[in-house]
Structure 1
Amino acid sequence: MKKNTCFHLFIFLFLVVQNSFAQVDVVYNNLVWSDEFETNGAVNSTKWHHQTQLPAGGSWFNGEQQHYTNLITNSFVNTGFLNIKAIKEPYTNQGVTKQYTSARLNSKFAFMYGRVDVRAKIPTNQGTWPAIWLLGKNVNEDGGFFDSQFGTTSWPACGEIDIMEHGITQSQPAGYVQSAIHTPSSFGNTVNHGGTIASNLGNDFHVYSMNWSPFQITFLLDGVAFYTYNPAVKNASTWPFNAEQYLLLNIAMGGVAGTIPSSFTNAAMEIDYVRVYQNTTPDTESPANFTATSGVIGSSSIELLVNATDNSGSVIYNVTYGTTTLSFAGLSGVQKSAVIPGLTPNTNYTFTISATDAAGNAFVNNPVVVNATTAVASQCNGTNNEAQQGSFTVGYNYEFETIGTDVKITFEILDPNLVGVVAILWNQNPFTETQMTNVSGNKFTKTITGQTIGATINYAVKFAYAGGLAVTKYFPYVVGDNCDLGTPTTKFDNDLTFINPAKDFLEIQSEIPIDRIEIYNMTGILALTATEISDKIDISRLPAGIYILNIYSGNERNVRKLIVK
């Protein structure tokens, strides 16, 4: 099959590869290790190790019921395919008898960063758990190939990357395959997982892929990305993926895969090839055509839009502002969006941005400086990644806007490569759920009507998608206000009064000297500013409506709602 690939299949694969490149942050071009399974018989012992030693206690983890063996009946190559076969048969080894045998192969190759492609047809029999995955080379798992020399770290501190698992998500629809990440921050029943539906699973071959860069790990099915792991904070707890990992191929039986039917006899995973790509070609060419600008600006976030070209196919961007430095990667010639969250409203930020490639070659005119000022918090808007259920790898944008006595609520999940996203608006008290309307992409909105100006409402959003869900925190919002609810009461809060609603003139009385005032409309536009403060400030040119009044005294700010008649 592999040896006589026809032209139209070549074109299909070419398009798949091109499409998948557009969905990852770093492109890996050079094949560094593979097995094409071209020799019939036993598995190539120079590339694979049979892991057969039972863990302490005499059973594999998760309640599994199989012995892993090095028998040729459980793992063999036939007509260009590796077969890993689970068989119902009594087998005694290491003084323990089990009723099922299977195989668990460790690659004798370990690597850090790269892309893995595995073309396979997997079993879908009840009770089977086929898996394609990676473990840290430093895992101290007795019987593993690297354990005797490198096994210094317990699971999950070694890190685990599950490219493909099937059979352990019985609640999902038929054809569902899952990818998952296990780290000290989340393991076992991890929240870091995603999944997708594979067509005709069990009968057709599919390409299961994982693209691992220093910045994120992306999972793909047949060249289409469906889940990316990219924790906002990368440390030993969330990101043990800055060290080498090795590949594992196996079929487990029972346990979390469910009851094995009495009628079960055998099941096989057939693997056409296993390929690992990295970038090994010497590179002396620097990135070119580097541009950087600001994009969407909120009260607590600024979007940076960067673009550069490089012969390697990928560009690394380093951003510094204040004492903070962050890095991310993008494809050559493709504009990359990065949202900088957690910023202070109405504040100017200077972003110093440089472009390099993976070999360290730098853009000749580095750095590019971008200045941008966050919006005044005239609406409850910004970027956050806090979750009360599940988790967000990147986060979400949120916005509350008062229109008359209605409040328009808009949320957008920023996590990439999610499939089938829907959004449900949660009202905290009394608890209700309301379907939101999709605006575009993964942005959703809902307008709630008949609200009381000055009342505080509390809403969150549940995002559900293929393979999981995540729920934002509840956001309190004062209807008609700017939602600057976290601002501490200033020292002149109780010593300041003004006539509200106001007409033609704003009359303010304060025992504390006022340096300036700013009045913003409900879309965040500065409508009036005054630095010469008198008892009466002329507001006659302001249309009737609701405004946000910022009153400054030194470093203190008092935020009030102003109604103009």
Structure 2
Amino acid sequence: MSQFSCAQVDVVYKDLVWSDEFTTNGTVDSNNWFHQTQLSAGGNWFNNEVQHYTNRTTNSSVANGNLSIVAKKETFTDQNVTKQYTSARLNSKFAFKYGRVDVRAKIPKDAGTWPALWMLGKNVNEDGGFFDSNYGTTDWPACGEIDILEHGITRSKPDNYIQSALHTPSSFGNTFNIGGVVVGDNIANNYHIYSMNWSPNQISFLVDDVVFYTYNPTVKDANNWPFDKEQYILLNIAMGGIAGDINANFTQTSMDIDYVRVYQNTTIDTQAPTNFTASVGTITGSSVALVLNATDNSGNVSYNVDYGSGTSSTYSPSGTQKTLTINNLDQNTNYTFTISATDASGNAAGNNPIVLTAKTTTILQCTGTETQATQGAFSLGYKYTFETIGTDVKINFELLDTDKVGTVAFLWKQSPFSESQMLNVSGNIFTKTITGQTIGSTISYACKFAYAGGLSVTKYISYVVGSNCSLRVEKVFGLNQFCYPNPVQDVLQLQLLDEQNQITLTDILGRKVLEKIVPSSHKIDMSAFKSGMYFLKINNAFGIQNLKIIKE
């Protein structure tokens, strides 16, 4: 038995390493599964669920090639606690790191039921779990949770909607790491294959071999990626709690599972990536694009780039061109990029490394901070940037007001008037690129910020395409604004000339550690900063002042 989904996942796992086909009628195979029945502290399961989990065949058994997990309405007493519903919760006695899980199943849809196919870290500290006594060293959610399928906790969604989710220290409980899909055929009456494909790079979720959600944080750490350790599989139906009210006429329902299969790649891969190429793409004043490609039998190639002041990495399917843009570079600066290609087994391309050189261009841009509004009002104001890239102009607006919620932004062209929605980059930063502009021509744009309860429109900003306003706007003046004490241990006191001042604090490597709008009298708490040299830039109506700050 094998499966293939080469075009949709980053690593294709082909070797069946563990399965249960449920071919023997009767009790659940105790070599494969453990019944988790121990109540959690307080005599209840989590999320205000109301069921007892049992090891009885009335709640879980095998017949006609299927495992049936049955939730029932019945009075049942266990561990000195009486409840009105029973069900089953199975732990696989097999744990693994990286691979694919396929579960072919029918999923009940009864109101108040919460069927789930999911996974937990083998190291989870959960009394009563199969692995807990020997490996339970880590509390939830630091152990990581992968929900392959859940149904019943999203009642506002359309019929036959199922979801997958990830729970980590950075997002748990009501996690925002969620993907869902409406399954075409009735999930209660028809079998579907629910799958999870887990590699060192990403976790993808599929229904009937079609990916509908992929989790892939750019920077992976213990906070958002505890998925570098073994996990085991759980199958269960919970009742009530966040699944909502149980139908008064409910008697019982079942989740029928045809098979559970786990695939990995067990054959040692000794074949290195081939046809590795790298070239320089688009260059701007602050970025260089690298165009990468290679082929490999594993189905996926990783690229690592070292450019002296930093490193970056990415990956793409075998034979698929990948563009990696290195950002936050200095303008008019020569850079050397050392690029290597490897596969998932660490095999390196024979022509590693490829070394490329590129020089960033001059950043042609105007930036500023304003509070003036043509409609509505601003409390703290807004920042803007107009940057010329070739014959295009990239326009950024950032809303600095902290009292606005649900903000969206629209770019206003002054003449002839037009409005177009801007892309939200992060926070309240929005961007829009206008193409095909004439160098030397003057353009004028404003930004409408729409938010809950109102809107505010900036003044129109005029920009000469291809100009670098910073060369003629920024004026450095004498030390007529004060920062003390310097050197500083804990609190740095600022006495500034303007009522609104933009301050930017960077460390000796040029990394921004603080940026905000402050009044004329302001304190910066530097007690948590490392000792060393910092640079404070003050920008207000009087010009720009740069100060050197020593943190003791």
TM-score higher than 0.5 here?
Answer: yes
Shift of 1:350: 3.0
- Residues 149 and 436 of structure 1: CA distance in aligned 2, closer, same or farther (over 3 Å): same
Superposed, 1:429-444 pairs within 5 Å as: 436=421
Residue of 415, 419, 426 corresponding to 2:409? 426
2:226 counterpart of 1:240: yes
Structure 2 residue identity aligned to 1:157: A
For 1:197, the equivalent position in structure 2 comes to: 182
- Residues 484 and 182 of structure 1: CA distance in aligned 2, closer, same or farther (over 3 Å): farther
Q: Name the CA distance, whole Å, in 2 between partners of 1:370 and 1:214.
A: 28
2:447 counterpart of 1:457: yes
Aligned length: 431
- Residues 345 and 197 of structure 1: CA distance in aligned 2, closer, same or farther (over 3 Å): farther
Q: Secondary structure at the match of 1:149?
A: helix
Shift of 1:33: 1.1
Structure 1 residue identity aligned to 2:211: A
Which consecutive residues of structure 1, in runs of 5 or more, have no partner in the other structure? 3-12, 382-397, 412-422, 439-443, 463-473, 496-555, 559-565
Q: Is the 8 A contact 2:411 2:445 kept in 1?
A: no
- Residues 487 and 279 of structure 1: CA distance in aligned 2, closer, same or farther (over 3 Å): farther
- Residues 113 and 287 of structure 1: CA distance in aligned 2, closer, same or farther (over 3 Å): same
For 1:211, the equivalent position in structure 2 comes to: 197
2:158 counterpart of 1:173: yes
Q: Name the CA distance, whole Å, in 1 between partners of 2:35 and 2:269.
A: 38
- TM-score relative to the length of structure 1: 0.67
2:351 counterpart of 1:359: no
Shift of 1:337: 3.8
Shift of 1:344: 4.4
Q: Name the CA distance, whole Å, in 2 between partners of 1:55 and 1:142.
A: 7
Shift of 1:487: 7.5
For 1:513, the equivalent position in structure 2 comes to: none
Q: Name the CA distance, whole Å, in 1 between partners of 2:309 and 2:279.
A: 20
Q: Name the CA distance, whole Å, in 1 between partners of 2:82 and 2:411.
A: 55
For 1:269, the equivalent position in structure 2 comes to: 255
Moved more, 325-334 or 297-306: 297-306
Shift of 1:72: 0.8
For 2:295, the equivalent position in structure 1 comes to: 309
Structure 1 residue identity aligned to 2:138: T
Superposed, 1:154-169 pairs within 5 Å as: 154-169=139-154
2:26 counterpart of 1:36: no
Q: Name the CA distance, whole Å, in 1 between partners of 2:45 and 2:366.
A: 51
- Residues 407 and 56 of structure 1: CA distance in aligned 2, closer, same or farther (over 3 Å): same
Structure 1 residue identity aligned to 2:157: Q
For 1:289, the equivalent position in structure 2 comes to: 275
Q: Deviations over 1:45-80 (max 9, x none)?
A: 111111110000011111111111111111111211
Q: Is the 8 A contact 2:411 2:432 kept in 1?
A: no
Q: Name the CA distance, whole Å, in 2 between partners of 1:172 and 1:375.
A: 50
For 2:11, the equivalent position in structure 1 comes to: 26
- Residues 261 and 232 of structure 1: CA distance in aligned 2, closer, same or farther (over 3 Å): same
- Residues 456 and 136 of structure 1: CA distance in aligned 2, closer, same or farther (over 3 Å): same
Shift of 1:130: 0.9
Q: Name the CA distance, whole Å, in 2 between partners of 1:138 and 1:489.
A: 60
Q: Is the 8 A contact 2:50 2:239 kept in 1?
A: yes
Residue of 270, 284, 308 corresponding to 1:322? 308
Q: Name the CA distance, whole Å, in 2 between partners of 1:290 and 1:160.
A: 36
For 1:61, the equivalent position in structure 2 comes to: 46
Moved more, 232-241 or 56-65: 232-241
For 2:97, the equivalent position in structure 1 comes to: 112
Q: Name the CA distance, whole Å, in 2 between partners of 1:484 and 1:146.
A: 64
Q: Is the 8 A contact 2:365 2:468 kept in 1?
A: no
Q: Name the CA distance, whole Å, in 2 between partners of 1:108 and 1:484.
A: 66
Q: Name the CA distance, whole Å, in 1 between partners of 2:189 and 2:47.
A: 27
For 1:388, the equivalent position in structure 2 comes to: none
Residue of 108, 112, 117 corresponding to 1:123? 108
Shift of 1:23: 2.0
Q: Secondary structure at the match of 1:148?
A: helix
Structure 2 residue identity aligned to 1:33: W
Q: Name the CA distance, whole Å, in 1 between partners of 2:274 and 2:75.
A: 64
2:470 counterpart of 1:480: no
- Residues 294 and 224 of structure 1: CA distance in aligned 2, closer, same or farther (over 3 Å): farther
Q: Deviations over 1:229-280 (max 9, x none)?
A: 1112211111111111111111111111110010111111111211111111
Structure 2 residue identity aligned to 1:318: N
Q: Is the 8 A contact 2:102 2:196 kept in 1?
A: yes
Structure 2 residue identity aligned to 1:330: S
Q: Name the CA distance, whole Å, in 1 between partners of 2:460 and 2:148.
A: 41
- Residues 290 and 59 of structure 1: CA distance in aligned 2, closer, same or farther (over 3 Å): same
For 1:152, the equivalent position in structure 2 comes to: 137
Q: Secondary structure at the match of 2:47?
A: coil
Structure 2 residue identity aligned to 1:108: K
Q: Secondary structure at the match of 2:48?
A: coil
Q: Name the CA distance, whole Å, in 2 between partners of 1:138 and 1:459.
A: 47
Structure 2 residue identity aligned to 1:160: E
2:114 counterpart of 1:143: no
Shift of 1:476: 11
Q: Name the CA distance, whole Å, in 1 between partners of 2:118 and 2:366.
A: 42
Q: Name the CA distance, whole Å, in 2 between partners of 1:483 and 1:54.
A: 68
Q: Deviations over 1:7-47 (max 9, x none)?
A: xxxxxx97xx3xx3212222222111111111111111111
Structure 2 residue identity aligned to 1:51: Q
Q: Name the CA distance, whole Å, in 1 between partners of 2:48 and 2:218.
A: 34
Q: Is the 8 A contact 2:364 2:468 kept in 1?
A: no
Identity between Structure 1 and Structure 2 (%): 60
Q: Name the CA distance, whole Å, in 2 between partners of 1:378 and 1:485.
A: 4
Q: Secondary structure at the match of 2:129?
A: coil
Structure 2 residue identity aligned to 1:457: C
Q: Is the 8 A contact 1:380 1:477 kept in 2?
A: no
